[in-house]
Amino acid sequence: MITSLCRGVVAASLVFAVLAPTAAHADEYTLTEAITSLPIAEEIREGYKRELYPHWKDDDKNGCTARNDVLIAEAIEAPTVGAGCSLTGGVWHSYYGDVLVQGPTGDVLVQGPTGVDIDHMVPLAEVHDSE
């Protein structure tokens, strides 16, 4: 734990040292300039395969995958849960488009839960590249 804390402090210090202007040049050096001065390199995406990162498992053993657990928990109007945890109907709020996503009844924007994306907080390919 101490090692991780030390690494974090050192990393934060390095970032601050790169981005922080000196007192003599404080009014001449902006955050935007500091960011644009950082080197940019091409991303190397080698070895990434989505199947290396199994997801949507039923970790809680309730018969529903994690994806369906999220859909059920986040629904404004709950979907019908059928055999094998198949979901039909339901209404969700899309934070990205600020619209309601509805099942096969009413004003259909997306046909049921299959049209709803459940996003990772960090894309799997980025996780792979960061390991």
- Band (pLDDT 50/70/90 cuts) for residue 51 is confident
103 in any annotated domain: yes
- The verdict on 29 and 54 lying in the same domain is no
- Do 59 and 31 belong together in one domain? no
Q: Is the pLDDT of residue 106 over 70?
A: no
Mean pLDDT of the chain: 73
Residue 6 belongs to domain spanning: 2-36
Q: What percent of the chain has pLDDT above 70?
A: 66
67: pLDDT strictly greater than 90? no
Show Cβ contacts of residue 48 under 8 Å, excluding neighbours closer than 6 positions. Answer: 124, 125, 128, 129
**Count of CB atoms situated within 10 Å of the CB of 128:** 16
- Assigned domain for 109 exists: yes
Q: Are residues 55 and 95 in the same domain?
A: yes
Is 126 contained in some domain?
no
pLDDT at 62 over 90: yes
Q: What are φ and ψ of residue 117, in 5° steps? A: -90, 135
Whether residues 106 and 81 share a domain: the answer is yes
Please state the domain count of the chain.
2
- The stretch 39-58 carries a mean pLDDT of 83
Domain for residue 43, yes or no?
no
Helices (H) and strands (E) in the chain, counts: 4, 4
Both 76 and 31 in one domain: the answer is no
pTM, to two decimals: 0.52
The C-alpha atoms of residue 86 and residue 96 are separated, in whole angstroms, by 25
Task: Let me know if residue 127 belongs to a domain.
Answer: no
**pLDDT at residue 25 greater than cutoff 80:** no
In a domain, 71, yes or no: yes
Say yes or no to pLDDT of 13 above 50.
no
Q: Is residue 17 part of a domain?
A: yes
The candidate with the shortest Cα–Cα distance to 85, out of 109, 60, 105, is 60
